[in-house]
Amino acid sequence: MCVMRRVSDEQLIELIEAAIFVSETPLSKKRLRETVLKEVAASGVRVDEAIRSISEHYQTRGVQLVEVGSGYRFQACKRLTPWLSHLWQEKAPKYSRATLETLALIAYRQPITRGEIEQVRGVSVSSNIMKSLQEREWIKVVGFKEVPGKPALYATTNQFLDYFSLSGLNMLPELPEQHEVKIDQMLSDPSVRESSE
């Protein structure tokens, strides 16, 4: 057993704040504990409290602490983006409707096969779309469906959540509602039936 170093609350806050700032990827509490806080005596409650305190501190500043899929990161306040974006030459990439629809289906209906995506969209999904989504590490194969042909089942990744600044899938905008009841009404109501023209 190594000797756990005692730190004050202020020291803990400093350490966590700096760790999140210098980490190349979002930093989860688990990784924080396994790396930076490995030799520091700090209970989970104290870490939570420190993170809360950092988050509060940045409420009025140009950067903010946010929690995304794979952990905590600092990001510039969204309202500043139009000004800040002048720092870069190239424009942010735009994604085609086909890509977004495919991604939406995987995000909301995961795990899902390519065939199931095609069924909903009514067109075949191009291999390029699946490949580029996998290359961006937004989706990955999580298994194979127990049906003939054993098609791959796709799901979204933490990197997907990070990119869209979501802390979890439950933070996705709610799926627009289908009017199941209305369909049934239509089917039972003969007056809606079209007259034979």
Partner 1 sequence: MNDVAEKAPPFAFLHGQAVIEKPEDLYIPPDALEIILETFEGPLDLLLYLIKRHKLDILELPILSITQQYVAYVELMTELRLELAGEYLVMAALLAQIKSRMLLPVHEELEEEEDPRAELVRRLQEYEQYKLAAENLDQLPRLERDILVARALVDESEVPVAETPEIALKELMLAFADVMARAKTFEHHQITTESLSTRERMSQILHYLSENDGQCPFTKLFKVEEGRSGVVVTFIAMLELIKEQLINCLQVTPSSQIYLSLQLQE
Q: Does residue 41 contact residue 5 with C-beta atoms inside 8 Å?
A: yes
User: Segment contacting partner 1 (CB under 8 A): 2-10, 32-40, 126-134, 177-185?
Assistant: 177-185
Helices (H), 28-96: 29-34, 44-57, 81-84
| Residue 141 in contact with partner 1, rule: CB under 8 A | no
Q: Which of 6, 30, 86, 193 touches partner 1 (CB under 8 A)?
A: 193
Sign of the alpha-carbon torsion through 126, 130, 132, 138: positive
Which spans in 61-174 are helix H? 81-84, 97-109, 114-121, 127-135, 158-163
Give the interface size with partner 1 as a residue count (CB under 8 A): 52
Say if residues 31 and 131 touch (Cβ distance below 8 Å).
no
Query: Which of 37-45, 47-55, 141-149, 181-189 is the region at the interface with partner 1 (rule: CB under 8 A)?
Result: 181-189
Q: Which helix (H) or strand (E) holds 183?
A: helix 180-188
Which positions from 42 through 71 interact with partner 1, judged by CB under 8 A? Answer: 63
Q: Min. distance of Cβ 157 from partner 1 in angstroms?
A: 14
Q: Shortest distance, CB of residue 33 to partner 1, whole angstroms? A: 20
Distance CA(27)–CA(44), nearest Å, equals 15
Q: Which of 32, 40, 107, 139 binds partner 1 (CB under 8 A)?
A: 107
By CB under 8 A, name the binding residues for partner 1.
18, 21-22, 24, 63, 73-76, 78, 81, 84-85, 92-93, 95, 97-98, 100-101, 103-105, 107-108, 120-124, 162-166, 172-173, 175-179, 182-183, 186-187, 190, 192-194, 196-197
